[in-house]
Chains A and B, each alone.
Chain A
Amino acid sequence: MKLMLKTTVSLGVLCLTAGAAFADCGIEGAGSVRILSNDFEALRLVNTTAAECATDSLTITANANAEHKNLQVPALSINPAEYTVAVVANNSIVPLLNDDLIRPLDDLVAEYGASLQPNQLIKIDGKTMAIAFMGNAQHLFYRKDILDAAGVAEPKSYEDILAAAEAIKASGAMEYPVAASVKPGWDLAAEFVNAYLGTGAEFFAPGSAELAIDNENGLKVLETMRALTAYMDPDYLTFDANGIKAEYEAGNTAMMVEWGSLAGAIIDEEGAAEGVVANTVLAAAPTIGGGSIPAVALWWDGFTIAKNISDEDAAASFQAMVHGISPEMVAANPAVATWLVAGYEPGPAAVGVIATANGGARAYPMQPYMGLLHTALSAELAEFMAGTEDAAQALADVKAAYETAAREGGYL
């Protein structure tokens, strides 16, 4: 509660001060900007900053909603679209592209995008379809004091993590030294995707929707995931990303691969047990199976502009969002996210994401059928993780479930 209050107050203060500093974004004419985004601090900040551009004739509203993925396709399908801006990530842009609901931004970038950097432009088939403004990735959080006491160095790979976990458990310092967000559903599937990306292999046969995870890489990933469960709290199947954050802050666990966007909340002074924050080290995500690629997906968050709106609204929306992600906003809020914006100076909460990106981690795949695979993984890996099924059977189940869904989706 206290944390929420603090955030609200600081956001409020920020709005006031920022509003006074640069109230006019130079948007001409009347119009309406309607933003749909996911609901976390960085995006709320972008939305409030964009809303500063409102004038007497220009209205700006924002809906930060955790259900945004379910809202966006129907909301942008109608004409005129319910929202002019959809804030998306690697995965949630795909349904919009599949149904052709967002417009190319090249003209708008040329006219109003002077403050954007080239690597912010998400180009698909040569056309800029989204403007990325922040990066995110899961990476390793560990407790230096616990690892030092057990005499182990910083883990660089999942094999190191297993060895370190064994050492910590043997020393009696901690019963469950490892935590991972393996709750069946989106989280569990993301864990598999992460580890599989680390093997360097592809999910699909080139150029088709044919699944290609039924191989020794897939088995290796599953073996590693299951081996880790031996060092986890027996309730591990009910822990999602927020669940393991709570476990870590309570001092119940020594190592976890957790979202970089939660790092700020973990290393702040709020809500953690004695000694946790001071001894927390953020490091690159571990590699897997002797590979050199950090075994996590890199994510970007960016904004897209709806197709089914007037050109005036599109231009106003673009300018408001460019203001929302302006270098001034980023300079005032460096700790909120790992920004991709010009002039960003990474803070202490961003080192893990940056180390992971520099380590060569791969982006979350953007194939149109990746969502179907993610859903298949989310339901079919549960029994394997619970220990009631072997790895080969789990992969066969995933393949069967994916193929059923892909046939229904028209991809196979």
Chain B
Amino acid sequence: MPHKTFFAFILPSLVAMVLFIALPIVSVVVQSFHVEHGRILVEVENCQPFGGCTKETRVDTAAMAELQAAQPMGQFNGFGTYLNRSHLAVDEIGAILSDNTGFGNIVARIYNLPFYKALAFTLVFCFVVTPLAMALGFAIALAVNALPKVSKGPVIFFSLLPMIITPLVGSLILYWMIQANGIIGATLQNLFNDPTLSLRASPVLTWASLLFYGVWTNAPFSFVVFYAGLQTVPGDTLESAMIDGASRWERIRYVIIPHLAPLATFVALVQLMDNFRVFEPIVGFSAEANATSLSWLIFNDLSGDAQLFGSAGATSVLTIAGVIVLLMPVLIRTWREFNHKVV
């Protein structure tokens, strides 16, 4: 296709992408470089039903309105928000590295910083859930492919359920099941003969439940893609492998897996991106005490009694940067393949 035709062909989607993807990201980036104006505080008399009248500080709204009119975005703060304690915490890390009592102490103190605590769980979730969910999805695809035709439809439907269920609802269902009086929680207490066993109390078990949920909810996507891929495996090659005496395992290892490898790259790419944005299970499992993620940090900045848009913007930009870093190997590989084909 000539470049011009190609360009005209994708122009509508390009416009939509600029409007709905690029511009909002630009606005978030701009937002992250700004903080609120310095508030002008005044002492005023404040009377309420309880406790009578007291002197309290208030924001001088008239003076603030003038400042706001002059500079609607607030004060320019450059990378200040990125480097503060809630984000990359450069000063704090410097202090920790220059004054510590050993490696364990460094790790513990860095983990105490909100951004790094969230990043730790986010990365673990990404790198544990993605391969396990892909492996499980692949196994289900192989199993379903071997089923007789009649039963395939219903089995596929049931295998897709975790993906169809809204993530928040799915995590709540599992959360209720692992409670001490839920079916899984009670069974585990019985199995280990420990009536105080609680999946919600210990950090390790909370992480394990979240990871388990992640695999459960992500497997269907891999399953669907791999199942579609399985339909394209050339029958001739499989047959000749069988004639050569290849076992089922050998056929999977030497015919099917190489055939599906490009597909696996695509699935890994999508899943890594998805898992890096893990959020719903943390809320659904009430796991904030033991596990937070980058998306949860953004949510925490924007909900509650006071909203910090600059801080949320900075975390969002760092999340985007994280996604780019994660996808870099895959992107480089795709780019090389693309160039290879053109030449």
Contacts and interface: CB of A to CB of B under 8 A. Distances in A.
B59 A363 contact: no
Given A237-B289, A374-B305, A408-B84, A368 B179 contact: no
Interface in A280-302: 298, 300
A306 interface: no
A147 interface: no
A183 interface: yes
B109 to A, nearest CB: 9
Contact of A408 (B45, B46, B62, B81): B81
A122 B59 contact: no
B58 A409 contact: no
B201 to A, nearest CB: 4
Nearest to B77: A408
Contact of B303 (A70, A94, A122, A363): A70
Contacts of B81: 408
A355 interface: no
B49 A375 contact: no
A358 to B, nearest CB: 10
A375 B48 contact: no
Interface in B11-57: 35-39, 41, 43-51, 53, 56-57
A401 B59 contact: no
Given A119-B49, A120-B49, A386 B289 contact: yes
A196 to B, nearest CB: 16
Contacts, number: 177
A123 B59 contact: no
B290 interface: yes
Nearest to B44: A125
Contacts of A186: 304
A94 B57 CA distance: 11
Interface stretch (B225-233, B237-245, B306-314, B322-330): B306-314
A183 B198 CA distance: 16
A366 interface: yes
A380 B86 CA distance: 11
Nearest to B296: A379
A367 B179 CA distance: 39
Nearest to B302: A70
Given A97-B58, A300-B49, A368-B57, A237 B303 contact: no
B112 A389 contact: yes
A361 B203 CA distance: 36
Contacts of B75: 410
Contact of B47 (A94, A121, A368): A121
Given A234-B198, A234-B201, A368 B49 contact: no
A374 B290 CA distance: 19
Contacts of B85: 400-401, 404
A298 B50 CA distance: 7
A378 B37 contact: no
Given A405-B308, A410-B39, A184 B47 contact: no
B108 to A, nearest CB: 9
Given A300-B50, A407-B35, A408-B36, A98 B61 contact: yes
A259 B256 CA distance: 61
Tell me which of B43, B59, B81, B308 has the highest count of chain A C-beta atoms within 10 A of its own C-beta: B59
A146 B201 CA distance: 26
A179 interface: no
A123 B53 contact: yes
B48 A409 contact: no
A123 B84 contact: no
Tell me which of B49, B62, B200, B201 has the highest count of chain A C-beta atoms within 10 A of its own C-beta: B49
Given A357-B50, A370-B305, A237 B201 contact: yes
A73 B303 CA distance: 12
B274 interface: no
B319 interface: no
A117 to B, nearest CB: 9
Interface string A384-412: 01101100010001001100110111110
B49 A235 contact: no
A96 B341 CA distance: 60
B311 A368 contact: no
Contacts of A409: 35-36, 39, 306, 308
Contacts of B44: 124-126
A183 B292 CA distance: 14
Interface string A87-105: 0001110110111100000
Contacts of A215: none
Interface in B215-273: none
B51 A362 contact: yes
Contacts of B38: 410
A371 B49 contact: no
B74 to A, nearest CB: 8
A385 B198 CA distance: 16
Given A209-B41, A389-B112, A408-B81, A95 B305 contact: yes
Contact of A401 (B86, B196, B288): B86
Contact of B57 (A100, A367, A408): A367
B65 interface: yes
Given A386-B289, A409-B36, A409-B39, A135 B50 contact: yes
Contacts of A371: 304-306
B172 interface: no
Interface string B275-287: 0000000000010
Interface in A199-244: 207-209, 234-238, 240
A340 interface: yes
Given A135-B50, A235-B179, A404-B84, 11 more contacts: A122-B48, A122-B49, A184-B288, A209-B41, A240-B286, A298-B51, A366-B46, A368-B59, A374-B304, A375-B306, A401-B114
Identify the 5 closest CB pairs spanning chains A and B, nearest first. Answer: A371-B305, A371-B306, A100-B61, A410-B36, A125-B44
Interface of B: 35-39, 41, 43-51, 53, 56-59, 61-62, 64-65, 74-75, 77, 81, 84-86, 92, 112, 114, 179-180, 196, 198, 200-201, 203, 286, 288-290, 292, 300, 302-308, 310-311
25 contacts: A90-B48, A98-B39, A122-B49, A123-B46, A124-B44, A125-B46, A234-B196, A235-B200, A238-B200, A298-B51, A363-B51, A365-B56, A367-B56, A371-B305, A375-B300, A383-B112, A386-B290, A388-B203, A389-B112, A400-B85, A408-B36, A408-B81, A409-B35, A409-B39, A410-B74
